[in-house]
Amino acid sequence: MNLHEYQSKRIFAKYGIPIPQGEVATTPAEARAIAERLGGSVVIKSQVLVGGRGKAGGIKVAKSTDDAAALASQILGMKIKGLTVKKVLIDEAATIAKEIYLGAVLDRAQRRVVLMASSEGGVEIEEVAKHTPEKIIKVAVHPFLGLRDYQAIELADGIGLPKEHLSAFVKIARALYQVYLESDATLAEINPLVITGDNRLIALDGKIVIDDSALFRHADLAELRDPDAEDASEREAREHDLNYINLDGEIGCMVNGAGLAMATMDIVKLYGGNPANFLDVGGGATAEKVAAALRVILHDTRVKAVLINIFGGITRCDEVARGILSAINSLDVKVPFVVRLVGTNEEEGRRILADANLLTATSLADAAQKAVAAAKGGNA
């Protein structure tokens, strides 16, 4: 789960990481009042969960309170990569002498939390990694020892940080590691961490991503979820415990198991179609789950055909087939269905579906080809 910049920075501040003074506004009038309190010269920053806000015109500097109100009214309501801006963060303007990067991330290969720093702040760290990887310094933290001061010093020296900032930097690095641990983050980054014109270190922008698997022990963080960041279908799916991701194709896919679901999307593409979604109904594929999954898929009006691919192991194919039938009967279905059931009792499962006039398939390739043809209006 991604946190907004203002949410991330508030968490940073709680741990003693210096951030600019600022407040969130939802109207131009609020923006004006905040700018007044901050002394006039401010930065108006759209709060939407996508990258590239600056390029899209979602971040503007205001010289006066009037300016702040005018710019806030421009930015509020604008669309950035499909998301409507509903909140802006009004931060005091800072003079920037130098921008650096500091982030904590889970390194899967080392099985450790890694702290990374770079002298190239203010750009995406992935870009730095691609073009000038030598400019990223990393230290891996042992989970039983935590971040040691010498490791933070290694980072500071590695990026050529002026010595006068060393102790402030070490404090910030330690605090960032604590933020990461105590929020169960998968990413916590300050980008940029700036040296200001008056020679202070402050976290100008920040981002925290929380491990979805750990939200059960962070009720306070779970509440920060921005409902606008996921579409209605994704929200409904989450409420039914379904793994669903909306894509932009025309073939709705319902599959049991994440790996098989990905493989099903891949084969649809291989045969010239485009998957409308990723959806894993889970191992059991019970009738209720199947019905909920079909509702979510059919919400998407771009869906021209639905491909159901279920492997019946312990849950038998005939049980799954009955579940699919009862789900289809409970819904107003207007698009063709291709169903592939494989595994235990597959013949019986196929017979039940054939009686109901659904297209069935045996191999995955056959199923994908039939779904692609059905979506194009043919009768494979």
Partner 1 sequence: MSILVDKNTLVVVQGITGRQGIFHTEQMLDYGTQVVAGVRPGKGGEWATRNVPIFDTVKDAVAATGANTTFIIVPESSAPDAIIEAADAGIDLIVCITENIPALDMVKVRAYLDGTHARLIGPNCPGLITPGETKVGIMAGHIHTPGHVGIVSRSGTLTYEVVYALTARGIGQSTAIGIGGDPIIGTTFVDVLQMFEDDPATEQVILIGEIGGTDEQKAAAFIADHMTKPVTAFIAGQTAPPGRRMGHAGAIISGGEGTAAEKMAMLKAAGAQVARHPDEIAEMVARNIRD
Whose tokens are 């390194």? That residue is: 107
Of the pair 165, 340, the CB lying nearest partner 1 is at 340
Question: Does residue number 15 form part of the binding site for partner 1 (CB under 8 A)?
Answer: no
Report the alpha-carbon distance of residue 199 to residue 183 in Å, rounded: 30
Draw the binding track, 133-172, toward partner 1 (x: CB under 8 A; -: no contact): ---------xxx----------------------------
The helix or strand, by DSSP H or E, that contains position 297, with its residue range, turns out to be: helix 287-299
Question: What secondary structure, in 3-state letters, does 106-170 show?
Answer: EECCCCEEEEEEECCCCCCHHHHHHHCHHHEEEEEECCCCCCCHHHHHHHHHHCCCCHHHHHHHH
Cis, peptide link before residue 192, omega less than 30° from 0: yes
Question: Does residue number 188 form part of the binding site for partner 1 (CB under 8 A)?
Answer: no
Known catalytic membership, residue 101: yes
Report the alpha-carbon distance of residue 270 to residue 89 in Å, rounded: 44
Among 77, 82, 95, 130, binds partner 1 (CB under 8 A): 130
Count of residues in contact with partner 1, rule CB under 8 A: 54
Among 7, 65, 151, 186, binds partner 1 (CB under 8 A): 186
Draw the binding track, 322-351, toward partner 1 (x: CB under 8 A; -: no contact): --------------------xxx-------
Q: How far is CA 22 from CA 7, 39, 43, in A?
A: 12, 11, 9
Among 13, 78, 83, 106, binds partner 1 (CB under 8 A): 106
Among 313, 322, 348, 356, binds partner 1 (CB under 8 A): 313
Question: Does residue number 261 form part of the binding site for partner 1 (CB under 8 A)?
Answer: yes
Of the pair 8, 186, the CB lying nearest partner 1 is at 186
Report the alpha-carbon distance of residue 6 to residue 12 in Å, rounded: 10
Quick check: 343 and 311 in contact, CB under 8 A? yes
Q: Which residues bind partner 1 (CB under 8 A)?
A: 106, 108-109, 111-113, 125-126, 129-130, 142-144, 181, 184, 186, 211-214, 216-217, 243, 245, 247, 255-263, 265-270, 275, 278, 280, 283, 311, 313-314, 342-344, 363-365, 368
Catalytic residues: 101, 189
